[in-house]
Amino acid sequence: MSEPGRILGLDVGEKRLGVALSDPSQVIARPFTVVRRGARVEDFATIGRLVEEQGVVRIVCGYPLSLDGSEGPQARRVRRYAEALEQALTAPVVLWDESYSTVDADRVMQLTRPRLSPLERRGWVDAVAAAVILQSYLDARLAPDPHPPEIDRP
């Protein structure tokens, strides 16, 4: 098993960071907040504060692979962002395939918050997408194979 503490999930977009947190037992993910992107140093300071305040022991960063599993331009940007984040903070950063997370997040939002306006939905969908990514990671860790297929970075 891993070190006790929360795991933070990130959905890294060009304008916003969706943030999710696990419970301390690392079983359930929930949307936490959405952070407007700034310079990396500002993003990393905000994430660093969350790591400290919430007792985070690991960060799971959604990795937007292409449908064929290859790394496209957006995935390269996210990989570089995750590598720099890991250098800036003490918590390890794991890349996790985020395929269909935004579609799943939008479906969850429609089912659980049907009365939200499109603008309100767009504001929270990033945090819900981060929770979908993080829950996928947590579920894989609880599967019979104790070694989840974390994506290796070159």
Burial of 106 (0-12, 13-18, 19+ CB in 10 A): middle
Q: Please indicate, yes or no, whether the overall pTM of this predicted structure exceeds 0.85.
A: no
Residue 133: closest CA among 5, 3, 13:
13
Per the CB < 8 A criterion, the answer to whether 68 and 74 are in contact is no
Helix/strand/coil (H/E/C) assignment for every residue in 104-131: HHHHHHHHHCCCCCHHHHHHHHHHHHHH
Which two structure tokens, joined as six digits, stand for 1?
């098993």
The Cα–Cα gap between 134 and 26 comes to 10
* pLDDT tens track for 2-36: 688 999 999 999 999 999 999 999 999 999 999 99
Provide the CATH number for the domain formed by 6-142 in this structure: 3.30.420.140
* pLDDT tens track for 48-87: 999 999 999 999 999 998 888 889 999 999 999 999 999 9
The Cα–Cα gap between 92 and 90 comes to 6
Angle ∠(87,91,41) on CA atoms, nearest 5: 45
Which residue ranges make up each domain of the chain? 6-142
